[in-house]
Amino acid sequence: MSKAQDTQEQVLRVTDNVPEETWYWAALASIGISAVLKIQGKDHWALFVGQWPPTFLLFGLYHRLIQPGHK
């Protein structure tokens, strides 16, 4: 098994244990947290946290595309 395949298996094992909705809620939560940080004047932290939603959404989509019939 190649290193890439081994890494993919590890990612799938982690995402299998996380309900699909969790990724979407995590994305929404990070958007909210980013907004609160921006309002508090913590611009650098707001930008940092504001970059998380695409990652969370991609985890959810990746899992759905790799294993479409799996729930």
Q: What is the pTM of this model?
A: 0.72
Domain ranges (residues) in the chain: 20-71
One digit per residue, pLDDT tens: the chain, 71 residues? 688 888 878 877 777 788 878 989 999 999 999 999 999 999 999 999 999 999 999 888 887 787 666 55
Q: What are the structure tokens assigned to 38, written together? A: 């921006």
φ and ψ at 26, to 5 degrees? -65, -40
pLDDT value of position 43? 97
